[in-house]
Chains A and B, each alone.
Chain A
Amino acid sequence: MTLDQMRPGNECRIKYLSVRDKLGQRLMDMGVYPGRRLKVVRNAPLEDPMEIEIDGYFVSLRHEEARFVEVDHREAR
């Protein structure tokens, strides 16, 4: 499952990032990397982008960027 398929309120653990270069680095720099847990907070009024919470801070990203983040929904807890 990828992050863009998560609904607001869902929690998950990041399994894998399938993109490199600029976007991969940016996700990494914002704390989106394998092993971390995150929670989807909300979608924007027009559905896109989405807002996630990692470790007490908030990050927004577009769905087309979120689809490169492989997550595991069941391992959330």
Chain B
Amino acid sequence: MKPDKVLLALAGQPNCGKSTVFNALTGASQHVANYPGVTVDKMVGWYKHGGNKVEVVDLPGTYSLTSYSPEERVSRDFILHENPSVVVNVLDASNLKRCLYLTFQLLEMEVPVILNPNMMDVAEKRGMEINASVLSKSLGIPVVPTAMKSGRGKKKLIEAIEKVGTGESAVKPVRIDYGEMEPLIREIEAKLSAESRLRDRYPTRWLAIKLMEGDEEVRKMVGEEKNPGEMLLEFVGGLRTTFEEQTGETPEMHIGRHRYQAAEEVCKTGVKLPSNVKKPFSDRIDGVVCHRILGPLFLVGVIWTLYYLSIVQGYNITNYTWPLLAKIRSFTEAIMPAPGFIEIPILRSFALWFVDSVNALLNYIPIFFILFALIAVLEDSGYMPRMAFIMDRLFSRYGLHGQSTLPMVLGGIYVGGCAVPGVMSCKGIPDDRSRLATILIIPLLNCLAKVPLYVLLINIYFAQHKALAMFFISTISLLMVLPVSKMLTMTVLRKRDTAPFVMEMPPYHLPTVRGVLGRAVERVWLFIRKIITIVAALAVVIFVLLQFPGIGKDRMAYYEAEKDRAINTFYKKISATDYAAAIQADTPSKNLMDLVLYWENYKNARMMAGSQKAASAVNKAFKIRNPDFYPVVQPEGDKDAKKVNREMKKLVRERKKILQEMRKERINQSFLGRIGQAIEPATQFAGFNWRVNVALLSAFAAKESSVATLGALYEQEEAGETLEQRMAAAETGFTPLHALALMLFMVLYPPCLATSIAVKLQSGSVKWMLFSMGYPMVLGIFVATLVFSGGSALGLTGLQAMFAFYGLMLCITIAAGFLKTKQEPSLIQP
């Protein structure tokens, strides 16, 4: 019988070229899915061969198949539960012995395995000779060597997959002889096959070996069975102890050693090693890259380049992409119901708010694309483990990991990162506790969006010491992040799983364009799909909180009166001119509104037009659009027109003022505004009044909004006044100490919506997302209160308080570095 669908799993150790094989087999038809319950990516693709559809699952690269890491558990469960028709075991041909260690574990699971020594070109270059037929004979499975980077051997591999997948060629794999443990394994096997239902679902020999290894998952599985259940576990426990006493070796080490021995036996006959071994090229590179002095310098260089190309150059690219987004906005403006003199239709303001929220994120796409491409280069080249190697000593003292380096750089370790890619790049950290700690602290770093508020406050309150204040705020975040991470590690994260650091330093590789761009596109797409959709949904909620319940009836009547007064003054002033009739004709206010919009459109169009030529083109277009209105916007010596033009300017300014007042009142009255006022009694100790509260609350959607909301709250009285001047004028009681407290609160501000979603994706739970939003708030209020109330009590100026706080944090950071948190692993008594 010929099944028309073949399920193929790719298994192999990390850095064996498995993803190259996956890409070569599936081409463009692949996608990322998730394994249930864990944050491990599941790569799925397919290809067609001879009428058969072959579904390919790229299992995560693992050195072994124990139950200690989620990657290993996922791979193992897939092979056991999804029953793939073929498992292609990809091996690094130049490192065959270690790779075969995994092969024997696959064979024990009794699935049809094809051995695929990949990167043959590299092995041959090193002078190694691999004899496929000898390997095949000694392992009892098909062996197909390939060099997939150039496509060599691909056809043969596909043919072999078809043969094994359709059951045409039988596979009779060898078994490892575990020496003095064999009788014990057989004893357990006998008990399992006599009574357990497990024998129908799992290979009994595999179960027996795993029980001897003391594998937690298999123990749990057996323990849950009624029969033989606990009894068998007790029996195996006894066997394990006796074995260790008699041989002086733990059962798991005995098993592992025999696997390596078997691998060595196979290699002895199947692989011919070169007589003289050259020092690998990678090691010579590492002589520089991991050098005591050159290494850190190189690391700084890499980080600087990463930062420069993505943040600085990426930001420049947004200058070209922003007009596209602006077009979407103006298109939305055009199709929405037109605004009245003071009545803005709710549908219009909602649509614009929505487009603005999404645009704010879409604007980051060029930055993210470059960033993701560069990260892919770092990953593929093999530099990441070196980065971890250099930084681990420093970070591990604070409960972080060497591999926290990249996420922290992206998050803004100095100033000007973005927490979203920072959190997303935490995936690679193998240690669960360090990974969560990194995810939780990244939002406290200085992302780009926090900068406008710092700049605003520093310009007003630390104008004399701008550079110093900027340095303070840029570095204080790291000084707070490290002790916070230590604190989290010692408290809420105490019980999380840790993993050994032990890690391979793989040979360097030249990344391929296809691999890099493919990954960048895929990650940007993930960002768009997951983050933007959710942010768009939440933007609706924030909109409601900011808009409703809205302005009361009597206040609305007041604004109506204001509007009538402005319009009547305008009419009276122009009544003597030639244009009065044209403007007041028909339904007066409608015609007037048309003029107001015409006026604004014209001003916008002229502002956009850069050259003289473009300006005259605009003039021409507007003249055609409405010849009656044109003289008002462009009087050109006509005396009456000039007068109308002057009055029109006043009217437009009046309208803007009323609208701004209404907006301010609407925010005051809104749910968010009321919350801001309600918590003022608590936040006053941190130096925040209710206006600041509202600005901070609105910053949750995106931190940039803090400055925008402040802009709305401190309304413009005279045109051209900057927000700095307005804020300084309105908040006369505000001192540098207030500003300091506010800036520190901003450092510790909860993650924005996009980051919160990223936290949920990477931590795999809503609970951690909520925690990541909650704890910075508490911490922020605490720090701001400490600085403001403490500073006021001691009579410190803003600058003195700044120095005092910096000194305090420096001491805490150093002290936290010396606190011991490591627990002793379980030892073997010799």
Contact = CB atoms under 8 A, between A and B. Distances in A.
B256 A44 contact: no
B393 A59 contact: no
B523 interface: no
B825 interface: yes
Interface string A36-67: 00000110111111010101111111101100
A73 to B, nearest CB: 18
19 contacts: A16-B830, A18-B827, A19-B828, A21-B825, A24-B250, A25-B64, A33-B260, A34-B253, A34-B257, A41-B283, A42-B290, A46-B390, A47-B393, A49-B389, A49-B393, A55-B98, A56-B280, A58-B286, A61-B501
B557 interface: no
A22 B393 contact: no
Interface residues of A, number: 41
Nearest to A48: B393
Contacts of B292: 45
A45 B257 contact: no
A16 B250 CA distance: 11
Interface in B234-252: 250, 252
A46 B501 contact: no
Contacts of A26: 68, 499-500, 502
Given A33-B256, A33-B260, A18 B830 contact: yes
B118 interface: no
Given A25-B68, A33-B256, A65-B500, A60 B825 contact: no
B291 A51 contact: no
B822 interface: yes
Contacts of A51: 286, 290, 389, 505
Given A55-B98, A56-B277, A30 B828 contact: no
Given A46-B393, A48-B392, A64-B822, A56 B95 contact: yes
B645 to A, nearest CB: 70
Given A29-B63, A62-B396, A45 B293 contact: yes
A22 B396 CA distance: 18
A23 interface: yes
Nearest to A36: B260
Contact of B101 (A18, A22, A23, A29): A29
Contacts of B68: 22, 25-26
A71 interface: no
B394 interface: yes
Interface in B494-529: 499-506
A7 interface: no
B97 interface: yes
A36 to B, nearest CB: 8
A49 B290 contact: no
Main SS class of interface, A: mixed
Contacts of A57: 95, 98, 504
A50 to B, nearest CB: 9
A12 interface: no
B604 interface: no
A28 interface: yes
Nearest to B402: A49
Contacts of B825: 19-24, 68
Nearest to B255: A28
A28 B290 contact: no
Nearest to B15: A57
B826 interface: yes
B64 A29 contact: yes
Nearest to B824: A19
Interface string B470-509: 0000000000000000000000000000011111111000
B393 A44 contact: yes
B244 to A, nearest CB: 10
Given A44-B389, A49-B392, A60-B385, A28 B252 contact: yes
Contacts of B392: 44, 48-49, 62
Contacts of B501: 49, 60-62, 65
Contacts of B830: 16, 18
Contacts of B296: 45
A30 B393 contact: no
Interface string B652-674: 00000000000000000000000
Contact of B502 (A20, A27, A46): A27
Given A28-B252, A51-B290, A59-B505, A46 B394 contact: yes
A59 B98 CA distance: 12
Contacts of B506: 58
A60 B503 contact: yes
A20 B33 CA distance: 34
B270 interface: no
Contacts of A17: 253, 828
Nearest to B126: A56
Contact of B505 (A24, A55, A60): A60
Given A28-B253, A42-B290, A44-B295, 11 more contacts: A17-B828, A24-B250, A24-B253, A26-B68, A28-B64, A46-B390, A46-B394, A51-B389, A51-B505, A58-B286, A58-B505
Contacts of B97: 55
With most chain B CB atoms within 10 A of its CB, the pick from A18, A24, A41, A48 is A24
Nearest to B63: A29
A34 B389 CA distance: 25
B85 interface: no
B813 interface: no
A23 B98 contact: no
B251 to A, nearest CB: 10
B827 A20 contact: yes
Given A22-B825, A62-B396, A65-B500, A30 B257 contact: no
Contacts of B63: 29-30
Contacts of B250: 20, 24
A62 to B, nearest CB: 5
Nearest to A61: B502
Q: Which A-B residue pairs are the 3 nearest by beta carbons?
A: A46-B393, A29-B64, A58-B505
Contacts of A58: 282-283, 286, 504-506
Contacts of B502: 23, 26-27, 30, 32, 59-62, 65
Contacts of A49: 389, 392-393, 402, 501
A20 B828 contact: yes
B75 interface: no
A9 interface: no
Contacts of B95: 56-57
Contacts of A61: 500-503
Contacts of B116: none
A61 to B, nearest CB: 4
A55 B500 CA distance: 21
Contacts of A30: 63, 502, 504
Given A33-B260, A45-B290, A18 B389 contact: no
A30 B501 CA distance: 12
Given A19-B825, A22-B825, A64-B822, A28 B396 contact: no
B393 A20 contact: no
B348 to A, nearest CB: 58
A22 B63 CA distance: 13
B66 interface: yes
A53 to B, nearest CB: 8
A65 B97 CA distance: 24
A34 B253 CA distance: 9
A54 to B, nearest CB: 8
Given A19-B825, A51-B505, A59-B505, A25 B290 contact: no
With most chain B CB atoms within 10 A of its CB, the pick from A16, A21, A29, A42 is A29
A7 to B, nearest CB: 14
Interface string B260-293: 1000000000000000010010110010001111
Contacts of B402: 49
Contact of A33 (B257, B282, B393): B257
